[in-house]
Amino acid sequence: MRIRTAALSAAILVAVFGCGSSRSQVSSTTPPALVGPSPPAGTAIPAYDHIFVILMENYSYSEVIGAPYIASLAARGTVVGNYLATDHPSLPNYAELTSGQSFPNANTDCDPSPSCQSTASNIIDRIVASGRTWHAYAESMGAACGKVTNGQYAPRHVPFVYYTDISAASCQANVVDYSHLSTDLGSAATTPNYVFITPNTCNDMHDCSVATGDTWLSQNVPTILASPAFTQQHALLLLVWDEDDGSQNNQVALIAVGFHVKVGYVSSVRYSHYSLLRTVEAAWGLSSLAVNDQAASPMTDLIAG
């Protein structure tokens, strides 16, 4: 079933919360061009204590939005029904999500090397300068700051190992195996302000099914939502897919849950990965990194008035 996101409110909510999803169900019909209203003026993104970003892989909006746990998560927050990834394949999207731009050779999904690195300013530069903390948690990475594809770990899904201005020491301290997250979630004080989560290449749906990724989310997201960072402070969770599989003009799903996020809402505003980056910047008063995020609008219509 193809969900047409330009049709809003009740019709979309029924589709989001009532349909199943699998790769075999995707229509071959090209969806209409995505258009929508502008985000509302005068609404501010809260100054969150913690922002969690979880990146999934390679399925379009209508393939994932009705999966059981994903649908239940959507029901307690906002679905961005008009959201576009910015590129193909994976690595450029991860770069654009975190620096507002891609870099040479990124379109080859190469492991970090002198010919496949980025000198761009990135969100970590701004976060550190603001006095905030950060961690990237990558499942199946093993040793910190992994820069070589190994089994179900792919550096191309962890953009921070590509930025040359993130020192080796900082990478070792902050780009760690996913197993560290459960301990860090034990208190709000030990939970970083910015948390970037990368499941392995099966659990992120890259090599495995929507059902596999949905099960992984059902086993891991509740721990985040029950953590002190969420229950004692103001936190935002953004679940998003890096790109589609070519079936829906790169329309992917984004679900937002957290403090002051609208519940049971489907946004029709056109957003992109640059909008996600701009939203993080807006929450923390950070200056933009490149022309793309500077031109993007923060996702203000997700926020309850």
Tens digit of each residue's pLDDT (9 = 90 or more) over 234-256: 999 999 999 999 999 999 999 99
Domain contains 168: yes
Average pLDDT score over residue span 32-52: 83
Band of pLDDT at residue 3, cut at 50, 70 and 90:
very low
What pLDDT score does 6 carry? 35
pLDDT at 109 over 70: yes
CATH number at residue 19: 3.40.720.10
Domain contains 3: no
Domain contains 4: no
Domain contains 2: no
Average pLDDT score over residue span 258-269: 97
pLDDT at 17 over 50: no
What pLDDT score does 305 carry? 74
Domain contains 216: yes
pLDDT at 271 over 80: yes
Mean residue pLDDT across the chain: 91
Domain contains 235: yes
Average pLDDT score over residue span 98-114: 98
What pLDDT score does 39 carry? 84
Q: Which domain holds residue 49?
A: 10-302
Contacts of 52 (CB under 8 A, 6+ apart): 195, 197, 224, 235, 236, 237, 238
Band of pLDDT at residue 12, cut at 50, 70 and 90:
very low
Band of pLDDT at residue 24, cut at 50, 70 and 90:
very low
What pLDDT score does 104 carry? 96
Band of pLDDT at residue 13, cut at 50, 70 and 90:
very low
What pLDDT score does 37 carry? 85
pLDDT at 64 over 90: yes
* CA nearest to 67, candidates 208, 213, 180: 213
Average pLDDT score over residue span 118-123: 98
Which phi and psi (to 5°) does residue 199 adopt?
-65, 165
Q: Which of 17-31, 114-128, 286-300 has the lowest mean pLDDT?
A: 17-31
pLDDT at 118 over 50: yes
Say which DSSP state 19 is in. Answer: -
Element (H, E) at 55: strand 50-56
* CA nearest to 84, candidates 76, 73, 74, 96: 96
pLDDT at 58 over 90: yes
Percent of the chain residues past pLDDT 70, beyond the cut: 89
The letter for the amino acid at 243 is E
What are the tens digits of pLDDT across the range 212-222? 999 999 999 99
Domain contains 5: no
| 44 CB-contact burial (10 Å; exposed 0-12 / middle 13-18 / buried 19+) | exposed
Number of structural domains the chain divides into: 1
Domain contains 188: yes
Asked whether the bond before 112 is cis by omega within 30 degrees of 0, the reply is: no
What pLDDT score does 38 carry? 84
What are the tens digits of pLDDT across the range 143-159? 999 999 999 999 999 99
